[in-house]
Amino acid sequence: MNKIERVRAALAGQPVDRPPFTVWYHFGNQHAPAERTAQVHLEFFEHYDLDLLKLMNDYDYPMPEGMEVIATPADLARLKPFDPADTPFGTQLRTVEIVAGALRGKALFLDTVFNAWNTLKRNLVREAMPTLMAQHPQAVEAALGVVNANLIRYAQASLARGAAGIFLSVPATSESLTSSNTSGSCGPSISSCSRPFAARASATCSMPTASTCTSTGSSTTPRRHSRGPISTAARPSARPGAALP
């Protein structure tokens, strides 16, 4: 079996010669050009002989022009729809194109997208999130909708450029999200954002039996597969070029 056959068979619950193997690592390339980001991922893929590559996405969701942090309902209202190619995500999309060309016919790869809640809290609102959720839940819900729609556009652009699927990273630790966060009026919007994302972003996915994977804290669960999970391992401490243990 080659790498593509092994992954597709596992996701379809069919017999495989061995479980497919993948692992990932944050390289800290958020300020690097697409060519360098693609290079380190491809070197990593070759060094560890992966069956499936997870393309990390460390480029920031853009702040509204002229802003450094979002702290008020008026700030949230400045979040608008955008074309991902015209933002820092455009560098990631170029990375997708390069990796797709290098791995075409050789292996499948997933692009990474952080869900709307994580994106809004970590990249945009930060420390103001608890206050905004408690005092202005409708403003937060509206902002989540805008961010989610932009992430859907990004995911569709990534799939169109050659990604086989989307790894949707969802926070599931008390540090990121608690039951009190989701019990209020904007709680339903946090979970509901994932449903339209998965349904719309996966429409043209080339991995129809496992179009979206969700990361919840330390575990990774392929979604919509039947009986063939992909093996994952802890993130390696060695960078490409280092000796294997």
**Lowest-confidence pick of 61-70, 74-83, 143-152, 208-217:** 208-217
Identify whether the C-beta of residue 5 lies closer than 8 Å to the C-beta of residue 52.
no
Strand, coil or helix: what is 120? helix
Percent of the chain with pLDDT over 70: 70
Give me the pLDDT at residue 160, please. Answer: 96
pLDDT at 204: 46
Domains located in the chain, CATH noted? 3-232 (3.20.20.210)
Q: What is the DSSP string of 184-228?
A: STTHHHHHHTHHHHHHHHTTT-S-TTS-EEEEETTEEEESS--S-
Give residue 9's identity as a one-letter amino acid code: A
Residue 95 has pLDDT above 60, yes or no: yes
